[in-house]
Structure formats: structure tokens, C-alpha cells
Structure 1
Amino acid sequence: MLHLRVICPPERTGVVQAELVAEPGATHITVQPGIALAPAGDVVEADVTREAADQVLATLRDLGIDRSGGITLETIDTTLSEAADAAEKAVPGDPADAVVWEELITRTGEESRLTVTFQVFLTIACVLAAIGAITDSPVTVVGAMVLGPEFGALAAVAVGLVLRRRDLIHHGALALAAGFPVAMIITALATIAFDAIGLLPTGSLDQMDQVKFIYTVGPFSLIVALLAGSAGMLALTSARSAILVGVFISVTTVPSAAYTSVALIEQRFDEAWQAALQLVVNVLGIVVAAVAVLLLSPRARAWRGSGKRRVAG
């Protein structure tokens, strides 16, 4: 379940309380008059099932609570309550399958911004992937896949396309379009340094038997990208976020970007082209699959074109 906290003007408290009491998926409803200071008002709290969260949030927005007060939603790890069990049963569907769109918008918005942290993680991941390629170490390459933060930006682009949110598309596309080139340039400089100190002897890239998948483009490149994008978006929209680690390991965006830099420095232009193509195939495949998953959501249409809302963070 999700814990809902609402700060609202006193003149709206009665309406908010009535809406929550009438909602079958809401329980543990409490009202604390006049305790909120900034913004001033009453505090209304409730526990809400994931299946009912979208409707409750839409109602609160229609009442203008997001403008005159505040709405906070957070995940509850454990609930021991017959009332909570009854609320879960009263709302059709399974909590793990419910898409809470505001939660998804906020999460992808936060994880898609081009920040110093995003750039540092992406750069470290690319350099690590380059080392994995040079040493023919699949373990190192997998570590780079897990470390890469790019899936958040890809997910933001997908959510933005489905909901027609230009801000999400802009943030995600900027993070990818600026983040990868910077990381690749630094990886290229690192490769030159490895060459200069003898850590990249001539012919070492001829022995990449275990990590050739980085630049080998084929039908399975697209298939894996589509599957990873689908699984990743399902993990983001459900209560199964731990699955994202498996998604990261499936995606070869970071390794292919890193190897593009290495191959260019080593004048292996055919391999550089293939690695760059692998990167493009993965990016497009992930976004297309993520969009498809979101469009299959029963409430996707209700959110499309609903207007620009502020993204937290």
C-alpha cells in the first residue's frame, strides 16, 4: 500500500475527507486540524492501495490541493491490518500490476536529469567497460552495465512520448545526447593514456573472444533490447523494482559506447561503426518497448495530453 499525506486549506478538508472515506481503496484515514504551518492548513492522512492511487490523486488535483496545499505519497513496506486487507480486496486488480502515473513521472523525472552525479556514473561505467573490453573480462563489462545510469533517461523519454510530456522527453534526451559524448571522450582519453603507458599492447583487442557481443550487431541485439525495455518499464511501473538490476545487465548501451571510443583510438573503424550501431539499436529498442508497455496500460489514454505538470526534483 501507499501512505498519502495531504495538506489542505481548512475549507477543503471536509471535501477531501469525504472523498477518501468514499474511496474503497483508502483506509486508516486521519484528520489533524490546523497543525500544518507551511503551507498552513489541516493534515489529512490515509493508506491507499496502488490500484486506487491514481483516482485519489486525480481527485485531489481536481480540488486544487496540489496548488493550495501539498500531496505526498510514499510506499509502505509492511501493513498489519484487516482494514488494509479489506481495502486491497475492494479494489479490482493486483497491486503489483497497478501503474501510479504520478509516481512514475516523478521517478523518471528525477533519474533522467543531466546532473554531475549522472555524468560521473556514466563516465566511470564507460571507462570500466573499456577496461573490460581491453582485458576481455565479461565480469568487468557486466559491472559497467550495472553501474550505468542511462536507463532512467531512456525511461523518461518513453514516458514523455506516451504522456506527451515535453519536459520528460527534453530531460531524458539531453542526458543521453550530452552524457554519452562526454563519457566517450573521456574514455577515448583514457585509452590514449593506456596506450602511452603500455597497458594496451598492439593486438590485445584481437583476443576479445568473451566480449565480442559489445560490437556484434545482429537480430538478437534488437530482441534483447526490446525484452530489456519491456522488463525495465514493467519493473518501474510495478512493485518489482529489484528486477531492474537484471535489466541493466541485459543492456549493452554503456559497453558499446565505450568500445566505440576504444576502437576509434585504435583505428579499428569497422568495429567502431558496429559498436556505435549496437548503441543505437539498444537505445531505440529500449524506448520502443517501454512505450509499448505503457500504451498497454488501461489508464494511459486518460493521461495523454493531460497537460504539463511539475516534475519533482
Structure 2
Amino acid sequence: MALQQIDVYLPATQDTMGRLGDDVSLVDRHTLSTARGQVLERLLVDSTNTEQVLERLQKQMGHTDDFRIVVSPVGATLPRPETDEEDESDNGTDRISREELYQDMSDSVQMKSVYFALVALSVVVAAGGMLRNNTAVVIGAMVIAPLIGPNIALGLGTTLADRDLILKSLKTNLSGLLSGLVLAFGMGLVLPVDPTLTEISLRTAIGLPDVALAVAAGVAGALAVTRGLSTAIVGVMVAVALVPPLVAVGLLLGSGDWDLAYQAGLLLITNVAGVNLAAVLTFLVMGVRPMSWYKAEQAKKATRWALLLWTLVLAVLATAIWLAA
């Protein structure tokens, strides 16, 4: 059983936060006092119940001006809590809370200098590997590419109807892709580009396996973040779908191979659409929803529009690919 500790800091004028309800399952609960005279309610919960507890706390604390909720993972606790086989069964909702998920994704869309540095490094390494026709070097570039965050965050922002997260994700994603494209274009201007090399020619042809790769990358990325798992390995998969075609577009544009650059561009846009469509669908299946009914209604509309948009994009791209074949 994975446990989390939820600390609720209340003003001294409020003795306790009261009952959370009989339907809320807690492993343990203590009421303490802080050095500042505040009341500290410390809750120990199963991680699968964290979102329910946080929702109940936010509703209960809505009238309180001065409170703070802090969530921390628990490495171990003694004595060990009793477990129930039914509790350990897979009910399809085993994920981190919406608030933890939101915090992780918000951090991943910060446009800091290290983000652009990693984009530039991944483009340079990928371009070097493609020009040398070295698959191992191209794969190495995927390890440092930071593109999983903005793409998965866009799907989360859509699912939660969070306008700020959507805009930040779009801005960060477009900035990373454009900066990488410009750098690859510059390399294509000054370096000899042989479009017959396998690592380049593979990105100028698109088929159903490429679409399947993009969708699988989106699903894997969304599942990784909802389970609180490391996105390092999954990030490689998302980067494989985005960075090589991005670099291929830039190199081919720089070398004047417009038709091949167009083909690589179709692959890139198809992969972006596939990753984001899959991320939205995965968040829906995992039960990620806004807390308030008003936000939930907005989220339904935003999700419908997003699913329609990405589906139409894929349909248009499939038509363009068929016509170009």
C-alpha cells in the first residue's frame, strides 16, 4: 500500500477541521499544534484516496481565509497498515491526485533557459546522428529531449479546462519546436545533407506504424504522469516521435530539398496530433476531472473540441499523405 501524508495547517481560531465524512478512508489522523500557534491536522491516507480527501478538504476549508494543505509521500511507516485484498485489486483509478498531477505538469511547462538548452542539445545530437547515419546517436539525443512535458501538459489542461495551463503548454511546446527547427535549418545550410541516408529517409515516409507510434507515445506519457512514475524512459518514446522528424524538416529545408521536407513535416504534425489526442483520451479514461461542477461542464466542452480538432487534423493529414503518395 502506497501512503501519503496530508498536513492541513489551520488558523489558531479554528480548533479542528471537523469530520471528513464516513465515506473517506483514513489510515491515521492526529491533531497537533505548531510553534506559530496554528492547528496542524496530520492525515495518513492510501495514495489512491488522496484526491478524494483533498476534494473534501478544499470544500470544507473554502470559508477559511488562512489555511495550507501540504501533501508528502511516505517512504515507510511502522507498524505496517493492514491491507485488504479488495483494496489492493486494480480498480482502474490507481493514480496520483489531480493536484499532484497538475503541479508536476505546471513545473514541466516553465520556459527556463535549461529547457531551450536541452532542446538545442537534443537537436544537435540528433542531427549529428542522422547525418552520420548512426541510430545509436539519434537514440541518445532522445534521452535529453524535454518535449514530453509540454505535450502531455496540453492534454491535461484540455481535460481540466484550465486555460492558463493550455496557453503555457502551447507557448512552451511551440517555442521548443520552433527553436529546434531554426537550429536544424541552420545546420542544414552549412552541412552537407544526404537525403538517401536511412536515418533521414525514414522520416520522409509515413504510414500507419508511425501513427501507432505517436498514439502509443501519448498513452504511455499520460499513464506515466498519472501514476507518478518517472517520465525519463517514456520521454524518450515521445521524443522519438517528435525530435527526429523535426530535425529532418530543418535539415532538408536548409539543404533545399523542399519536397522531402514537406513529407517530414507531415510526419511531425501527425505525431504531434497523435500524441495529444492519445493524452486527452488517456486522462479521460483515468478519471481525471475538475473538482467543481462548473469547471466540469467547461472541461466537457473543451475536451469535445480538442478531440474533434485532433481527429480532424489527423484526417486532413491522412488525406494529404494519400495524395502525396
Shorter-chain TM-score range: 0.7 to 0.9
Q: Runs (4+) of structure 1 moved beyond 6 Å?
A: none
In structure 2, the residue matched to 1:165 is: 162
| CA distance in 1: counterparts of 2:17 and 2:153, whole angstroms | 34
Work out the number of aligned pairs and report it.
293
Of 110-119 and 93-102, deviating more is 93-102
The answer to whether 1:32 aligns with 2:32 is: yes
In structure 2, the residue matched to 1:19 is: 20
Q: 1:248 aligns with which of 236, 241, 244?
A: 236
The alignment's TM-score, normalised by the length of structure 1, stands at 0.82
The answer to whether 1:282 aligns with 2:283 is: no
What is the CA distance between 1:11 and its match in structure 2? 3.8
- Unmatched 5+ residue regions in structure 2? 299-325
| CA distance in 2: counterparts of 1:31 and 1:170, whole angstroms | 41
What is the CA distance between 1:34 and its match in structure 2? 3.4
Paired residues for 1:166-185 under 5 Å: 166-185=163-182
Is residue 25–residue 87 contact of structure 1 (8 Å, CA) maintained in 2?
no
In structure 2, the residue matched to 1:155 is: 152
Is residue 162–residue 304 contact of structure 1 (8 Å, CA) maintained in 2?
no
Q: Residues 137-188 of structure 1: CA distance to partner in whole angstroms, max 9, x if unpaired?
A: 1111112222111111011110111111111110100011122112221232
The answer to whether 1:47 aligns with 2:44 is: yes
Is residue 138–residue 211 contact of structure 1 (8 Å, CA) maintained in 2?
no
In structure 1, the residue matched to 2:223 is: 234
Alpha carbons of 1:285 and 1:156: their partners in 2 closer, same or farther (altered >3 Å)?
same
Q: CA RMSD of the aligned region, Å?
A: 2.9
Q: 1:73 aligns with which of 71, 74, 85?
A: 71
The alignment's TM-score, normalised by the length of structure 2, stands at 0.80
In structure 2, the residue matched to 1:294 is: 283
Amino acid at match of 1:76: V
| CA distance in 1: counterparts of 2:178 and 2:276, whole angstroms | 19
What is the CA distance between 1:50 and its match in structure 2? 1.8
In structure 2, the residue matched to 1:5 is: 7
In structure 1, the residue matched to 2:313 is: none
Is residue 51–residue 95 contact of structure 1 (8 Å, CA) maintained in 2?
no
Alpha carbons of 1:267 and 1:211: their partners in 2 closer, same or farther (altered >3 Å)?
closer
Amino acid at match of 2:73: T
Alpha carbons of 1:299 and 1:265: their partners in 2 closer, same or farther (altered >3 Å)?
closer
Q: 1:141 aligns with which of 138, 142, 150?
A: 138
